[in-house]
């Protein structure tokens, strides 16, 4: 009798240990985020000030929007390396329209529309020509960047139209309008991914596209829509960015695509596809943002910031791989 009890207790402890390991892997990004928040609150009295928190949110608004939509791409088993270039094209087109027509709303709405069209282009190329998303979006990013440079002639398009900076600079209750836009976009994307049939299809094709297709999922259409969402988000982020700096710059989005992918992976979305969540990507963005903010507030060597971020991303990828092996 006592041996049976001991065996049961041992099995219970093993299950508890397994569960705790799984829990640590599942919520590693939140644990890291909490640890950095506590550390910065202790080390810097200026960290938890209203102005600093609002600035962190505002500065990372475009990246949060891009990363939230990029979550769909990575969960579906793809990559989008063109979001930075789409950001640049959408921004310069928006600035050009504002200067040419003086119509602020038309100019700002043009940016997400341009993003939508370029995202659809990516999706069609990838699905119809059967080109791997990594290579296809790498090539399209070069094309889009060249288009942005041709539009501007390699220089800036400075916008002086009244009201153009409202989206990027104006505040309501001390909080930037762009932050409210970010919250709405993230909420919508979270709902679509976690509460709709389309969201379930995204997970399905990321986990096993062949099985998903046999189950009746429109794999081609879903992949195209995923890239449309990614392009649309990059365009919306560009509208905020160009409004903030009041000028169109062809290379304004350089590096954004890598930062977005890093944030998505750091948040715990699997690079193998099929696993992830929008909230994870948002947490990943702010984890990277807090590292940068901490280096600034504590006057640490800025050259070490990328190294620390790189180690954390490697750890996140390792945890993702460990979780995949356990499954």
Q: Profile the chain (327 residues) by mean pLDDT over runs of 10 residues.
A: 46 50 72 90 92 95 98 97 97 96 96 98 96 96 96 91 95 96 98 97 95 94 98 98 95 93 90 92 94 89 82 74 57
Q: Give this prediction's pTM.
A: 0.90
In the chain the domains, ranked by start, together with CATH numbers, are: 29-326 (1.10.3470)
Residue ranges in 246-302 assigned as alpha helix (H):
256-266, 278-297
pLDDT at 257: 95
pLDDT at 42: 93
Which regions of 170-319 does DSSP assign to beta strands (E)?
171-172, 175-176, 247-248
The one-character DSSP state at 157 is E
* Number of C-beta neighbours around residue 77 at 10 A: 20
pLDDT at 171: 96
CB-based burial label for 153 (10 Å; 0-12, 13-18, 19+): exposed
pLDDT at 325: 56
Nearest CA-CA partner of 204 in 189, 214, 190: 214
pLDDT at 116: 98
Q: Could you identify the residue written with the tokens 């390699």?
A: 154
| Torsion sign, CA atoms 252, 117, 190, 170 | positive
């Amino acid at each position: 009798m006592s041996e049976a009890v001991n065996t049961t207790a041992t099995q219970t402890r093993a299950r508890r240990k397994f569960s705790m390991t799984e829990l640590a892997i599942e919520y590693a990004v939140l644990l890291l985020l909490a640890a950095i928040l506590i550390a910065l609150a202790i080390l810097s009295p200026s960290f938890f000030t209203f102005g600093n928190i609002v600035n962190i949110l505002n500065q990372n608004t475009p990246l949060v929007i891009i990363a939230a939509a990029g979550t769909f791409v990575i969960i579906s088993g793809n990559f989008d390396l063109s979001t930075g270039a789409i950001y640049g094209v959408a921004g310069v087109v928006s600035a050009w329209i504002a200067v040419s027509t003086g119509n602020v709303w038309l100019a700002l709405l043009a940016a997400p529309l341009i993003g939508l069209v370029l995202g659809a282009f990516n999706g069609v190329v990838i699905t119809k020509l059967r080109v791997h998303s990594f290579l296809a979006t790498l090539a399209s990013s070069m094309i889009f960047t060249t288009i942005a440079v041709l539009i501007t002639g390699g220089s800036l398009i400075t916008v002086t139209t009244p009201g153009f900076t409202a989206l990027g600079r104006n505040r309501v209750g001390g909080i930037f309008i762009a932050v409210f836009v970010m919250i709405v976009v993230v909420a919508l994307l979270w709902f679509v991914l976690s509460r709709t049939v389309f969201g379930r299809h995204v997970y399905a094709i990321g986990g096993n596209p062949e099985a998903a297709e046999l189950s009746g999922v429109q794999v081609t259409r879903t992949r195209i829509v995923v890239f449309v969402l990614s392009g649309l988000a990059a365009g919306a982020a560009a509208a905020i960015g160009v409004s903030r700096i009041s000028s169109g710059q062809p290379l304004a989005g350089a590096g954004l695509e890598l930062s977005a992918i890093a944030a998505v992976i750091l948040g715990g979305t699997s690079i193998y596809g099929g696993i992830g969540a929008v909230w994870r990507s948002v947490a990943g963005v702010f984890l990277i943002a807090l590292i940068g903010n901490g280096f600034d507030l504590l006057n640490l060597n800025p050259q070490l910031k990328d190294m620390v971020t790189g180690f954390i991303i490697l750890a996140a990828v390792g945890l993702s791989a460990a979780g995949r092996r356990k499954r």
